[in-house]
A and B are shown apart, each in its own frame.
Chain A
Amino acid sequence: DQQVKQNSPSLSVQEGRISILNCDYTNSMFDYFLWYKKYPAEGPTFLISISSIKDKNEDGRFTVFLNKSAKHLSLHIVPSQPGDSAVYFCAAMRLGQGAQKLVFGQGTRLTINP
C-alpha cells in the first residue's frame, strides 16, 4: 500500500519558469511533510518542510503548499534554475513517535532546460 505517491515520474521545465511538483498521501495521521532533493549517487538533502497546522511554507525560491482536505501537497520552484535538475522526493511522518519514520514517495525527476 503506497501511502505517499508522486504520480509524475518526470517533469521538464524551461529555465526561469515555475516548476510544480505534486504529492498525494492517504494516511490522515501524517502531520509533518518534507521535500528532499537528490542528485545521482548522493544522499538526499533536505529542502523544505511543512507542518499540518499550516497550509503554506516559503523559503526563498521554494514554496510548499498543503491541502489537508485533499491530502495533497505541492512544491513550487520559482524561478527554476539549471541546478534544480534532480530527483525530488516528498516524505510524510507522524510527529511525537520518537524516531522519525518517514514514508517516501517514488520521486519525480525534474529537468530544467536552458
Chain B
Amino acid sequence: DGGITQSPKYLFRKEGQNVTLSCEQNLNHDAMYWYRQDPGQGLRLIYYSQIVNDFQKGDIAEGYSVSREKKESFPLTVTSAQKNPTAFYLCASSISAPRDSKLAKNIQYFGAGTRLSVL
C-alpha cells in the first residue's frame, strides 16, 4: 500500500539532546512537509521541501533542521535549541501544485504522527 510512514510513534528527549524523527513516503510525491500540533491549536508548518536537495523554512523553523537527500525521505531533527519541543509532529507529502486550479489535486497526505515528550 502507498502511504507515509513516521517513526517512532513515541519519542522522549533528554535536555540538551538532539533527536531525529523519520518520515518516509512511497507515493512518488515531490513535496514533503513537517508540521507541529499543540493542544487546542492547528497545525503549524515547520519546514517543507519541493524537491530533493532543496528545503525551505516554514512559520516555526527555529530549533529544527531537516534534510532531503532522497525523494522518499524527509527526516526532521529537533535540536537542543528548541526549548519547547513537546508536541505531536506530523509529516505530509503532496504533488507540486499545478498552476491550473481546474486540474488541482492539491491534497496533502499525512503520516500517523510522532509524539515527542521531554524527560
Contacts and interface: CB of A to CB of B under 8 A. Distances in A.
B42 A100 contact: no
Nearest to A102: B108
A4 B107 CA distance: 18
Given A32-B104, A34-B107, A43-B112, A97 B97 contact: yes
Interface stretch (B12-20, B43-51, B77-85): B43-51
A89 B104 CA distance: 20
Contacts of A105: 42
B41 A106 contact: yes
B22 interface: no
Given A9-B40, A41-B113, A107-B42, A99 B33 contact: yes
Interface in B57-98: 58, 88, 90, 92, 94, 96-98
Say whether chain A's binding surface is mostly helix, strand, loop, or mixed: loop
A46 B108 contact: yes
A44 B89 CA distance: 12
Given A49-B106, A100-B108, A95 B99 contact: yes
Give the size category of A's interface with B. Answer: 20 to 34
B31 interface: yes
A46 B33 contact: no
B47 to A, nearest CB: 10
Given A31-B101, A51-B104, A107-B42, A99 B110 contact: no
Most central of A4, A43, A45, A96 by chain B CB within 10 Å: A43
B48 A99 contact: yes
B48 A46 contact: no
A104 B58 CA distance: 13
8 contacts: A41-B113, A42-B113, A44-B110, A46-B107, A98-B96, A99-B96, A100-B97, A107-B40
Interface of B: 4, 6, 31, 33, 35, 40-45, 48-50, 56, 58, 88, 90, 92, 94, 96-99, 101-102, 104, 106-113, 115
Interface of A: 4, 6, 9, 31-32, 34, 36, 41-46, 49, 51-53, 89, 93, 95-102, 104-107
